[in-house]
């Protein structure tokens, strides 16, 4: 369980606070300004790297499962035997970065970094980025629940306080709006692919085909069926290698919930008031109208 720091960090007061790097919050647990700074200026991206990039709670682990399965031509052995954070280490965390630097190429890597903190060496490289995004209202909902399960997050207080922090980018990894607008600025670049959580839900098979094509992988119908089956919510919920049941208790309160919580779209309606929904809409419109993209939730 090296991805979780092997207890090298003391939880308690430390683990529940954040660090700030260039104005952005990160969990103190397993993060440091040195590691993030190294990532940005010195980390060497390889042309054969594949990056799974997301804002938190946007379907990161789902995409990671899809990419793992595509990599193995639909064979689930790897996804069933190796923990997902070892299959695709987090390049910005201390332990993850160490693992990334030792990863035999071709590497599969994960990141929640906004574009401005992503390795500079990505620019001009042929490394591929798959960027998954999700409706901000469902992201807030999933994120709010997650902060109560994972000890790396501080208690942001009642929902309304969390929402305020979310809207102003005062949560780990900053503003959803800035993240999405930044990364989607790369659309049209042939090593950049983006897809929504909602598209994965509406048409997982078609999405897997599109992702495989982007990765230059020709999968048979049968292999695609295996990816779809093994990346389903039900199968992933049972797979200990991706359902977070193996995350040590010192990092996660398993009695409070699980990573694969509901796996649906529109759950925000069960949490947010109409007024809170409208507040998200207002900020959303300010940021997104200039992008000229229509999303499934628009
Ligand atoms: P909910 O909290 O809304 O259930 P991340 O991996 O970025 O942390 O995102 C977690 C969210 O993705 C959770 O959303 C989780 O249920 C959902 N998720 C993970 N695997 C999924 C799958 N196979 N199908 C649908 N949703 C999935």
Nearest CA to ligand 1 atom 25: 263
Catalytic one of 112, 145, 151, 179: 112
Please give the ipTM for the structure prediction.
Answer: 0.99
Q: According to the model, what pLDDT value does residue 7 have?
A: 41
Nearest CA to ligand 1 atom 5: 57
What's the rounded mean pLDDT across residues 225-230?
98
Over the stretch 245-298, which tens digit does the pLDDT of each residue have?
A: 999 998 999 999 999 999 999 999 999 999 999 999 999 999 999 899 999 999
| Average pLDDT taken over every residue of the chain | 94
Nearest CA to ligand 1 atom 17: 263
Q: According to the model, what pLDDT value does residue 290 have?
A: 87
Alpha-carbon span 290 to 29, nearest angstrom: 36
Over the stretch 202-222, which tens digit does the pLDDT of each residue have?
A: 999 999 999 999 999 999 999
Over the stretch 71-118, which tens digit does the pLDDT of each residue have?
A: 999 999 999 999 999 999 999 999 999 999 999 999 999 999 999 999
CA 88 to chain centre: 11
Q: According to the model, what pLDDT value does residue 3 have?
A: 57
- The residue among 242, 240, 210 whose CA lies nearest residue 224 is 210
Taking 60 as the threshold, does the pLDDT of residue 55 lie above it?
Answer: yes
Alpha-carbon span 139 to 137, nearest angstrom: 5
Q: What are residue 22's DSSP bridge partners? A: none
Distance from Cα 59 to the centre of ligand 1, integer Å: 5
Q: According to the model, what pLDDT value does residue 269 have?
A: 97
Say if residues 88 and 32 touch (Cβ distance below 8 Å).
no
What's the rounded mean pLDDT across residues 181-197?
98
Ligand 1 atom, smallest distance to 58 CA: 7
Taking 60 as the threshold, does the pLDDT of residue 15 lie above it?
Answer: no
Taking 80 as the threshold, does the pLDDT of residue 1 lie above it?
Answer: no
Distance from Cα 211 to the centre of ligand 1, integer Å: 18
Alpha-carbon span 100 to 93, nearest angstrom: 10
Taking 80 as the threshold, does the pLDDT of residue 2 lie above it?
Answer: no
Does the active-site annotation cover 112?
yes
Q: In what order do the strands lie in the sheet with 50-54?
A: 108-111, 50-54, 128-133, 192-196
Q: Confirm or reject: Cβ of 262 under 6 Å from ligand 1.
A: yes
């Amino acid at each position: 369980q090296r991805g979780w720091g092997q207890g090298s960090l003391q939880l308690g007061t430390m683990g529940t606070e954040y660090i700030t790097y260039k104005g952005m919050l990160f969990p103190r647990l397993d993060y440091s300004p040195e590691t993030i700074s190294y990532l940005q200026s010195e980390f060497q991206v390889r042309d054969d790297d594949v990056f799974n990039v997301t804002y938190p709670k946007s379907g990161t682990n789902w995409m990671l499962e899809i990419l793992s399965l595509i990599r193995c031509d639909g064979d689930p052995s790897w996804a069933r035997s190796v923990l997902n954070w070892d299959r695709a280490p987090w390049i910005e965390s201390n332990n993850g970065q160490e693992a990334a630097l030792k990863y035999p190429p071709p590497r599969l890597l994960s990141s929640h970094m906004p574009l401005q903190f992503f390795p500079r060496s990505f620019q001009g490289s042929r490394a591929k980025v798959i960027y998954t995004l999700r409706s901000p209202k469902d992201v807030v909902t999933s994120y709010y629940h997650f902060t109560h399960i994972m000890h790396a997050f501080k208690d942001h207080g009642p929902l309304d306080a969390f929402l305020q922090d979310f809207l102003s980018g005062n949560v780990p990894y900053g503003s959803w709006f800035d993240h999405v607008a930044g990364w989607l600025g790369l659309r049209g670049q042939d090593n950049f692919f983006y897809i929504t959580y909602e598209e994965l839900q509406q048409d997982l098979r078609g999405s897997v085909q599109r992702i495989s094509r982007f990765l230059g992988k020709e999968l048979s119908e049968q292999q695609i069926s295996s990816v779809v089956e093994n990346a389903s919510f039900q199968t992933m919920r049972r797979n200990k290698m991706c359902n977070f049941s193996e995350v040590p208790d010192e990092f996660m309160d398993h009695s409070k919930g699980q990573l694969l919580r509901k796996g649906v779209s529109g759950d925000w309606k069960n949490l947010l008031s109409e007024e809170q929904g409208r507040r998200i809409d207002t900020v959303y419109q300010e940021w997104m109208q200039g992008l000229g993209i229509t999303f499934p939730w628009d």
